[in-house]
């Protein structure tokens, strides 16, 4: 019986040594593959392609473009109030009259007049053209200028939506890669823990270890399996988010290369990034345009108290108004003149409008200041996060090597009886955690870099092309 036990122990030791060798070989040869998606098919879709599809199919950017087009007409609408106005009108009226009338001349001459009956029916027509040109109306002028200023804000709003699309596309794309990385790590961990569980069960069956070791290994395997199911669900959800951008389903996307250099962006000074954001960030441009538009609109409401002057002209072709004893006759008329209007009283509404517009200007000023503070905070925070991410990536890469060394040492100790299965499983968990943290640190760097450029107002399609060059070719 002792010989049989020694035989099982020898077989078990050989199995452990083989697994150690296999583990070391796999980690050295396949670690780069674990740091990207587990498999990249020949038909994998890259980031540039997905962005082009999102730009054509995303509902949010389509709505933003339609909104920009609709708001663009506000300038033409406001300009119309200071340009010449003309209109034409035509009317036709049918008259029918009957009754009695007496002659005034006959009454004067004879002292009496005999009523006579009359019955008439005719149709009167009139055609008129009127035209006017505003000569002085500060309300209309300031309203037009306010519309022009607001139009600059609408252009910035579309620019912001386009930059947000770049950001949303990259975020969704790398969320898929992140989920795939986590799933690959979870699958590798599940296989390793399952293998350890099988070895533990074999050692227990030959009486080399206690049942508690098997229970510990089984509990760890159960938790690992639950984590695997969670990672699989996360990957499916990430693909769904990517599909929502483009309306297309993807089965595989190009993974991130393992040798991408991730360093601090240029310029190196955070103050230059802050200055760029204060001058170029579309949200600030929008707020500046809104403030200027509110200022001009305030001037427009104040001008409601001033006189307005307009030039007016008309031409009328038609019939003169008939009397009960005569038929209409042709009557043409031409008029031209100045119309001066001075508002005197409007029940206090003009004063209320003026005060309202002043309050709106104050609101726009506060919103502009809020945007500036937000940009400063976000740029400085993201710059600091990038600094941390660059250092974190190097540290995480080194931690993988350290975790591999620790796992080998723990396995050796387990073989000679100085370590237990719990310590081996914990060392495996540390290794896979280090791999996952390293992969996530690289994705965090990419997303933080894009957000930094977004708030600095420099994010554009060229950044998508640069990121695309960081992907493995399909």
CATH assignment of the domain containing 50: 1.20.1600.10
Q: Express each pLDDT in 66-77 by its tens digit.
A: 999 999 999 999
160 and 299 inside one domain: yes
Query: What are 294's two structure tokens?
Result: 């509110």
Mean pLDDT (whole number) for 261-271: 91
Q: Express each pLDDT in 14-33 by its tens digit.
A: 344 334 433 443 333 334 44
149 and 112 inside one domain: no
Q: By the 8 A CB rule, do 50 and 169 touch? A: yes
CA-nearest of 228, 206, 203, 229 to 216 is: 203
Q: Residue 426's pLDDT is what?
A: 83
Residue 156 has pLDDT above 50, yes or no: yes
Confidence class for position 203, pLDDT limits 50, 70, 90:
confident
Residue 38 has pLDDT above 50, yes or no: no
447 and 334 inside one domain: no
Residue 157 has pLDDT above 60, yes or no: yes
Confidence class for position 6, pLDDT limits 50, 70, 90:
very low
367 and 465 inside one domain: yes
> Which of 289, 316, 341 is where one domain is finished?
341
Q: Residue 68's pLDDT is what?
A: 95
> Which of 317, 341, 365 is where one domain is finished?
341
pTM: 0.78
Where would I find the beta strands (DSSP E) of 375-452?
none
Instruction: Quote the CA–CA distance of 254 and 473 in Å, as a whole number.
Output: 7
| 474, part of any domain | no
74 and 100 inside one domain: no
Where would I find the beta strands (DSSP E) of 15-84?
none
Residue 438 to residues 176, 234, 434, Cα–Cα distance (Å): 16, 19, 6
Q: What percent of the chain has pLDDT over 90?
A: 60
Average pLDDT over all residues of the chain: 85
Helices (H), 88-137: 104-110
68 and 105 inside one domain: no
Give the other-Cβ count within 10 Å of 458's Cβ.
Answer: 17
- DSSP-assigned beta bridge partners for residue 118: 99
Q: Residue 326's pLDDT is what?
A: 58
Domain span at residue 98 reads: 85-136+308-341
> Which of 292, 319, 341 is where one domain is finished?
341
322 and 248 inside one domain: no
Confidence class for position 118, pLDDT limits 50, 70, 90:
low
Residue 123 has pLDDT above 90, yes or no: no
Q: By the 8 A CB rule, do 128 and 420 touch? A: no
Query: What are 130's two structure tokens?
Result: 């009127």
Q: Under DSSP, is residue 99 helix (H, G, I), strand (E, B) or coil?
A: strand
336 and 446 inside one domain: no
Q: What percent of the chain has pLDDT over 70?
A: 85
277 and 227 inside one domain: yes
Residue 449 has pLDDT above 90, yes or no: yes
Residue 35 has pLDDT above 70, yes or no: no
Mean pLDDT (whole number) for 442-461: 96
| 359, part of any domain | yes
Lowest mean pLDDT segment, chosen from 3-12, 231-240, 336-345:
3-12
Mean pLDDT (whole number) for 329-342: 87
**What H or E segment, with its residue span, contains residue 118?**
strand 116-136
Mean pLDDT (whole number) for 410-424: 84
CA-nearest of 410, 352, 353, 468 to 196 is: 410
Confidence class for position 340, pLDDT limits 50, 70, 90:
very high
| 66, part of any domain | yes
Q: By the 8 A CB rule, do 31 and 431 touch? A: no
| 235, part of any domain | yes
316 and 262 inside one domain: no
Residue 322 has pLDDT above 80, yes or no: no
- Residue 112 has what DSSP assignment? -
Q: How many domains does the chain have?
A: 2
The strand pair at 330-341 and 308-319 is best described as antiparallel
331 and 361 inside one domain: no
252 and 321 inside one domain: no
């Amino acid at each position: 019986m002792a010989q049989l036990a020694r035989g099982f122990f020898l077989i078990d030791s050989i199995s452990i040594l083989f697994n150690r060798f296999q583990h070391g070989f796999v980690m050295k040869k396949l670690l780069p593959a674990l740091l990207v998606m587990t498999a990249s098919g020949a038909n994998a879709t890259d980031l540039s392609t997905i962005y082009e599809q999102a730009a054509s199919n995303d509902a949010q950017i389509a709505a933003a473009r339609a909104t920009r087009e609709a708001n663009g007409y506000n300038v033409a609408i406001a300009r119309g109030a200071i340009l010449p106005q003309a209109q034409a009108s035509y009317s036709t009226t049918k008259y029918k009259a009957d009754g009695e009338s007496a002659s005034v001349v006959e009454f004067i001459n004879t002292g009496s007049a005999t009523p006579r009956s009359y019955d008439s029916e005719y149709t009167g027509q009139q055609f008129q053209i009127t035209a006017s040109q505003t000569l002085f109306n500060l309300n209309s002028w300031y309203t037009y200028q306010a519309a022009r200023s607001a139009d600059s804000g609408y252009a910035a709003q579309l620019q912001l939506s386009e930059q947000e699309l770049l950001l949303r596309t990259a975020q969704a794309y790398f969320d898929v890669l992140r989920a795939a990385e986590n799933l690959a790590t979870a699958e590798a961990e599940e296989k390793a823990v399952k293998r350890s569980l099988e070895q533990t069960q074999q050692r227990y069956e030959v009486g080399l270890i206690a049942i508690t070791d098997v229970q510990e290994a089984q509990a760890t395997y159960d938790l690992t399996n639950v984590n695997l199911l969670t990672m699989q669900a996360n990957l499916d959800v990430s693909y769904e988010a990517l599909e929502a951008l483009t309306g297309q389903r993807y089965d595989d996307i190009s993974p991130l290369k393992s040798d991408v250099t991730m360093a601090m962006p240029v310029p190196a000074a955070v103050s230059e990034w802050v200055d760029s954001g204060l001058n170029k960030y579309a949200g600030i441009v929008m707020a500046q345009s809104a403030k200027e538009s509110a200022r001009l609109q305030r001037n427009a409401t104040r001008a409601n108290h001033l006189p307005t002057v307009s030039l007016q002209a008309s031409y009328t072709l038609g019939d003169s108004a008939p009397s009960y004893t005569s038929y209409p006759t042709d009557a043409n008329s031409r008029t031209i003149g100045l119309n001066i209007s001075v508002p005197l009283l409007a029940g206090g509404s003009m004063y209320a409008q003026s005060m309202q517009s002043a309050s709106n200007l104050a609101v726009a000023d506060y919103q502009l200041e809020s945007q500036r503070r937000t940009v400063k905070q976000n740029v400085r925070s993201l710059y600091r996060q990038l600094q941390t991410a660059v250092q974190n990536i190097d540290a995480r890469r080194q931690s993988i090597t350290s975790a591999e060394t620790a796992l080998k040492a723990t396995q050796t100790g387990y073989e000679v009886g100085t370590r237990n299965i719990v310590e081996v499983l914990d060392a495996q968990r540390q290794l896979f955690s280090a791999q996952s943290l390293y992969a996530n640190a690289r994705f965090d760097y990419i997303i933080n870099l894009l957000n930094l450029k977004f708030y600095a107002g420099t994010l554009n399609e060229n950044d998508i092309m640069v990121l695309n060059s960081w992907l493995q070719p399909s």
